[in-house]
Amino acid sequence: MSAEKTDKTEFERSPSHFGDRITADGSGGWPVEPGRYRLVVSRACPWANRSMIARRLLGLESALSLAVADPIQDERSWRFTLDPDGRDPVLGIRYLAEAYAAREPGYTGGVSVPAVVDVPSGKLVTNDYLRLPAELATEWAGLHREGAPDLYPAPLRAEIEEVSDAVFRDVNNGVYMCGFARRQATYDRAFTALFDRLDALSERLATRRYLVGDSVTVADIALFVTLVRFDAVYHGHFKCNRSKLTEMPVLWAYARDLFQTPGFGDTVDFDHVKRHYYVVHAEVNPSGIVPAGPDLSGWTAPHGREALGGSPFGDGTPPGPPPQDERVPPLG
C-alpha cells in the first residue's frame, strides 16, 4: 500500500519514492535475474495484490520469491511477524523499513508495499506499485511460464492505459478519497465520481467479458483488487454505500468471474483484508472492532460471463495451483 497522508480536508496518495526499473537488459542497473529479488506484499493491500496476481498468472513464483507481511502494522509499518522469530527467512529482517534504510540511509518517508528488494544487498529496488504489474508482463517475459497470458499486449496498451487511469483515479483511489475525507464537500465529490465510474464500467462490461480485448489484462487486475474488497471494507468502513458490489449485477458477475479464474481469487485473504483496514485505520474505526460479515459464499456462485465470449488467458493456459506455502485459507 502506498504511503498515505491526510490533512484536514483532503486525502493525498504519495507517489512512489523509489521508482527504479528492473529490466531485461539491465540498462537501469537492475537486470532481471531468477531468484535475485524478493517481492514483499501484504495480502490486505490492493496495490500489492495487483503484483501478486500478475506474478501468479505469469508463473513467476520460482523466479521472484514472495514475502508476506503481517496485515497489522505498528509504528514502524510493515513487519514480518508471520514468520518464525519475526524475521523474513530470506532477507533476515524484521521490518520492511530496514530494506528502505539499506537503500537510502536516514530515509524517513512512508514504507509501502508492494516492494521489490534485492536479496544479495538487502536494498529496496522499487515500490512503484502502479508500474510493477506491466513490467512483470514485459521485462520479465523471458522467465514466464509456458502458456502465460499476455497481460499487456502492445496493440492494446493505449486503451489499457486510458481505462486503467480512470479506474485508478475514480475507483482505486476514489474509495480512499471517500474514506479519509474530512469535509462533506470532499466526500461528496469523491462519492459521486466513484459511483459514476462504476456505473460507466458496468455499462462497458455489460457486453464484453473483459475491460480491454478478449482476455485478461492489467486493467482487469487493477479493477478487481478494489471490487474484491468493496463489500468487506469499502462499503461500510469507507462510506462507499450507495450500493454494495452484490447490488451491482454486472460488476458482481464480472468480479466473480475473475475471482474464480486461477491466479485471482487464490491470492485473496479476506481475514487479512478486514483486520488490516478495521484495526490499522483507528481514525476511521476507533473501536478496532472487525465486523463478522459479509457472507463470502457468493464468490463461488456461477456468473454466466462465459456467454460474452473471450477467454481469460487468450491463447495461453491457466497457471497451476499456488505453492503450498502461498495458499490462502478457503472461504468460510
Using CA atoms, how far residue 300 sits from 223, 295, 296, 317, 325, in Å, is 19, 11, 8, 21, 23
Asked if residue 78 lies in contact with residue 96, where contact means CB atoms within 8 angstroms, the answer is: yes
CA dihedral 209, 215, 219, 224 (to 10 degrees): 60
Q: What span, in angstroms and rounded, lies between the C-alpha atoms of 7 and 180?
A: 9
Asked if residue 114 lies in contact with residue 3, where contact means CB atoms within 8 angstroms, the answer is: no
Give the contacts of 138 (CB within 8 A, at least 6 positions apart).
152
What cell does 160 get?
A: 489499457
Question: How many Å separate Cα 32 from the centre of its chain?
Answer: 22
Give the contacts of 128 (CB within 8 A, at least 6 positions apart).
16, 18, 19, 20, 21
Asked if residue 116 lies in contact with residue 38, where contact means CB atoms within 8 angstroms, the answer is: yes
Question: How many Å separate Cα 310 from the centre of its chain?
Answer: 24
Catalytic: 45?
yes
Catalytic: 176?
yes
Residue spans of beta strands (DSSP E) within the chain: 4-6, 11-13, 37-41, 65-68, 115-118, 123-126
**Known binding positions:** 78
What cell does 24 get?
A: 531485461
Q: Is 77 left (phi over 0), alpha (psi -120 to 50) or beta?
A: left
**Known binding positions for glutathione:** 78
Q: Which member of 176, 187, 210, 277 is catalytic?
A: 176
Asked if residue 112 lies in contact with residue 16, where contact means CB atoms within 8 angstroms, the answer is: yes
Closest CA to 125 of 149, 91, 75: 91
Q: Across-strand partners of 117?
A: 38, 124
Residue appearing with cell numbers 502502479:
130
Residues identified as active-site: 45, 176
